Amino acid sequence: MGLELTTGLLDLFGAWAPWVALAIARPFGFSVFFMAFQWAQVSTGMIRMAFAVALALPALHFDPDGRAISELSMPFMATLAKEVAIGGFLGFIASVPLAIAVGAGGILDFYRGATQGMSDPSGGQVTAISSLMAVTSLWIFASVGGFWTVSSIIYSSYAAWPVSSTFPVLAQGAGLVIDMIERIIAGSLFLCAPVLIILFISDVVHLVSSKFGKNINVTHMAFSSKALIAVMVLPFFMLVAIQSMRSSYDWLNSVNDVMNRAFQ
């Protein structure tokens, strides 16, 4: 009896394990490349795997007459790698609002001369305003139900590119990666533009002052004055930035429509 039970469990595991791995692969790839997990200090593989399993479980069902692994259009390992890559690409798309916030803060700090930063969770360096913008963006992500949004993106991706399909059929939205990069750059510049203009005006004032005040070393004062202006303007800037970052996450809700245009 015990041997038959063990054999039955092993057979069940052998039939389910490949499909479970394929179901988990795409959400796990998403969690690896999604910037919110890095900035939220979710660096352990166990938490990322728990997120992937939680998304994969509703899609699993046992069908004794279902397709066999050998009937996939690609070898199992190639299909598994494809699913992880798709999940990573979706994680990159979902990271756009956070990347915009970090990029805007980096532009402001670079212009005011504060290029020294602290270590960020992704392994690089991030400046002070970038860190503030990233934390604010994470708070907005949680407050607007961001995890429901990214879960919807992952589930919708299976309709655009099923597990059993080798390639999707590309439509007019095939340049999706380029569009995402353009949105990050344009969004970062738009977000930091108000403070950037104020700092630029301060540079003009310093330039004029250096012409009329020959005895004043304006060059040494420029860095301190721009840092002081940034500190004074930052609270008002964050009120505007929060609304702009909210609109970035509202855009994230339209990613499903974008994927439907990109893949058919």
For 174-217, what is each residue's pLDDT tens digit?
555 566 667 667 777 777 777 777 777 777 776 776 666 666 66
Interval 3-42: pLDDT, tens: 554 554 445 555 677 777 888 888 888 888 888 777 666 6
Domain extent listing, the chain: 2-59+72-262
- Other C-beta atoms within 10 Å of 213: how many? 11
Cα separation, 167 vs 165, whole angstroms:
6
Q: Calculate the CA dihedral of residues 246, 248, 253, 255 and round it to 10 degrees.
A: -170
Cα separation, 31 vs 151, whole angstroms:
11
Q: Which amino acid is at 202?
A: S
- Other C-beta atoms within 10 Å of 95: how many? 23
Interval 231-252: pLDDT, tens: 777 777 777 777 777 777 776 6
How many CA atoms within 13 Å lie on the side-chain side of 18? 16
Per-residue confidence (pLDDT) for residue 158, from 0 to 100 = 80
Cα separation, 250 vs 200, whole angstroms:
31
DSSP state of 124: S
- Other C-beta atoms within 10 Å of 68: how many? 8
Looking at the DSSP bridge assignments, the partners of residue 126 are 118
Residue 263 phi/psi, 5° resolution?
-125, 135
pTM here?
0.72
